[in-house]
Amino acid sequence: MEKEDFKRIAVIAADAASSKKAEDVKVLDLCGKSVIAEYIVMSVIESGPQLEAVMQETEDRLEEEGMTILNRDGMLSKKWRVQDYGGVIVHSFDREAAEFYDLGHVYECAQPVDWQSEIKAMKEAEKAAKKAEKEAKAAERAAAKAAKEAAKAAKEKEKKAKTRKTATKKTATKKKTR
């Protein structure tokens, strides 16, 4: 996968966490300074059930994108979990664990990604693609209708031509018999 693909995955993971009311959702571009990932996604949760919801929503959304989780840790914890998607690592912590692990400090060389703007751009691109697809289908239907009408008109013209030929032959036959 390309770096941009991992960025898309990280942005979708951040949006998934946000959709489950996680706080302080961050996406960090590790700028090639890590061998474990291109991007880190971090979020803060308030409870064990919310942690479960955030992790499940992330997994579901990324599965829709064709991503398979490679590894996960903290499955028994109500305070912290991590999901590994190869080029993207997703962390969710309660506030206490977030302060303890302080990953923002660990990854201080990382560049923050404005994931909300990225999501907005992705949604706009999807909307434009759907509109273009709809317009293409409408144009295809119009072209099929025009072709059908042209075929019908050609058939009518051919029918009229045959009628004229038959009428001409009848007239010629009548003249010969007189």
pLDDT at 107 over 90: no
The percentage of the chain sitting over the pLDDT mark of 70, rounded to a whole number, equals 92
| Interatomic CA distance for residues 94 and 22, integer angstroms | 10
Q: Is 34 exposed, middle or buried (0-12, 13-18, 19+ CB in 10 A)?
A: middle
The token pair that represents 20 in the structure block: 């489950």
Instruction: Calculate the average pLDDT of the chain.
Output: 88
pLDDT at 70 over 90: yes
Question: What pLDDT score was predicted for residue 134?
Answer: 87
List the chain domain ranges: 3-113
pLDDT at 52 over 90: yes
Question: What pLDDT score was predicted for residue 171?
Answer: 62
pLDDT at 178 over 70: no
Contact 44, 23 (CB under 8 A): yes
Q: What is the pLDDT of residues 118-140, one digit of tens each?
A: 999 988 988 888 888 888 888 88
Beta bridge partners of 64: none
Question: What pLDDT score was predicted for residue 173?
Answer: 62
The percentage of the chain sitting over the pLDDT mark of 90, rounded to a whole number, equals 52
Assign 69 a pLDDT band (cuts: 50, 70, 90).
very high
Domain 3-113 has CATH 3.20.20.140: no
